[in-house]
Amino acid sequence: MDRLYLMTVFVAVAEEGGFAAGARRLKLSPPAVTRAIAALEERLGLRLLERTTRHVRVTQAGQRYLDDARRIIAAVDEADEAAAGINATPRGHLAVTAPMLFGRMYVTPGIVDYLQRYPGTEVSAVFVDRVTNLMEEGLDVAVRIGELPDSSLQALQVGRVRRIIVASPGYLKASGMPQHPSEIVHHTVIAATGASTQPEWRFIEEMKLQSYKVQPRLTVTSNDAAIEAARCGLGLARLLSYQAAPWIASGDLLPVLQEFELPPVPVNIVHRDGRHGSARVRAFIDLLAGRLRGDPGLA
């Protein structure tokens, strides 16, 4: 069998975590995928995948081969698209990641727009509140919120967000509007571990960074839950400005202590494309960047 074909099958099975899922992604039959993996392992003389009744996992040798196979396939795709020219039609599979709530609010509509514009494409989206490794996890494009560490990734800034404190009008009427960060200790605090695991909230006071320890009465694992608890009048929640924007606009939540906010942090689209960049990645980044840069919630 063709070696590039075998690599492509292996990457699909490894990234999808199963033979059947890999077959669906490639639009092949499961027996054809099984034969391809067996042929590749026989050619290499290595066990690339550990198979159980429930899972398929990449072996240590398989992980090294997976990283190399991804680079080779990406280089071949780039060569094909470079030959076709800058106006090559986007097609093929694209893997995208973003923070969970940002992905739902901002990235998903962009993905839908992208898929409707380019019928030859398909997208898998991973929305998680952690920093993903694009190469190791087989991802093409990520949205990152915050300052970026130095890396080989390409980055495009598309907006900025602030970390803010919000509460419902009912809670503030009953408990009073805090006038200074030191007053937080007298309020009920809602903490979302997806937003920050630090037991303190930071502010700018007289041009200096000041931290205050908080003792949450409610700790939740998602920003959605923190927003709902704040809307229901439980207490103060610390969120990113885009997360609270719809509820501030509706009047369900009010920002507090705005004069003490930290400086805004950037929102970047990052990707791992090579010299030329694939048409599917270029098209998605251009589309998403245009949508995000035009959004007042990210200005």
Residue 47 resides in a domain: yes
Tell me the two tokens of residue 100.
């969970």
- Tell whether the model's pLDDT for residue 85 goes beyond 50: yes
- Tell whether the model's pLDDT for residue 78 goes beyond 90: no
| Average pLDDT over all residues of the chain | 89
Q: Among 84, 99, 115, where does a domain finish?
A: 84
Among 84-88, 176-180, 216-220, 259-263, name the one with the lowest average pLDDT.
Answer: 84-88
| CATH number of the CATH domain containing 78 | 1.10.10.10
Write the pLDDT tens digit of every residue in 35-53: 999 999 899 998 999 987 7
Total number of domains in the chain: 2
Among 66-70, 101-105, 242-246, name the one with the lowest average pLDDT.
Answer: 66-70
- The answer to whether 77 and 258 have CB atoms below 8 angstroms apart is no
- Tell whether the model's pLDDT for residue 80 goes beyond 50: yes
SS3 readout for the chain: CCHHHHHHHHHHHHHHCCHHHHHHHHCCCHHHHHHHHHHHHHHHCCCCEEECCCCEEECHHHHHHHHHHHHHHHHHHHHHHHHHCCCCCCCEEEEEEECHHHHHHHHHHHHHHHHHHCCCEEEEEEECCCCCCCCCCCCCEEEEECCCCCCCCEEEEEEEECEEEEECHHHHHHHCCCCCHHHHHHCCEEEECCCCCCCEEEEEECCEEEEEECCCCEEECCHHHHHHHHHCCCCEEEEEHHHHHHHHHHCCCEEECHHHCCCCEEEEEEECCCCCCCHHHHHHHHHHHHHHHCCHHHC
- Note whether 255 and 167 are same-domain residues: yes
Among 36-40, 48-52, 117-121, 181-185, name the one with the lowest average pLDDT.
Answer: 48-52
Write the pLDDT tens digit of every residue in 267-276: 999 997 654 4
* Enclosing domain of residue 37: 1-84
Pick from 115, 108, 140: which is nearest to 278 by CA?
A: 140
Pick from 182, 159, 181: which is nearest to 241 by CA?
A: 159
Residue 291 resides in a domain: no
pLDDT at 79: 74
Residue 235 resides in a domain: yes
Tell me the two tokens of residue 212.
């205050």
Reported confidence tier of residue 82, pLDDT bands at 50, 70, 90: low
Residue 152 resides in a domain: no
Among 143-152, 195-204, 238-247, name the one with the lowest average pLDDT.
Answer: 195-204
| Phi, psi (rounded to 5 degrees) for 216 | -65, 140
Of all residues in the chain, the percent with pLDDT exceeding 70 is 93
Residue 130 resides in a domain: no
Residue 251 resides in a domain: yes
pLDDT at 279: 85
- The answer to whether 236 and 181 have CB atoms below 8 angstroms apart is no
- Note whether 168 and 255 are same-domain residues: yes
| CATH number of the CATH domain containing 225 | 3.40.190.10
Write the pLDDT tens digit of every residue in 154-163: 899 999 999 9
Residue 204 resides in a domain: yes
Q: Among 29, 49, 84, where does a domain finish?
A: 84
pLDDT at 113: 97
Q: What is the rounded CA–CA span in Å between residue 30 and residue 36? A: 10
Q: Give the residue, 195 or 3, on which the prediction is more confident.
A: 3
Residue 176 resides in a domain: yes
Q: Among 60, 84, 108, where does a domain finish?
A: 84
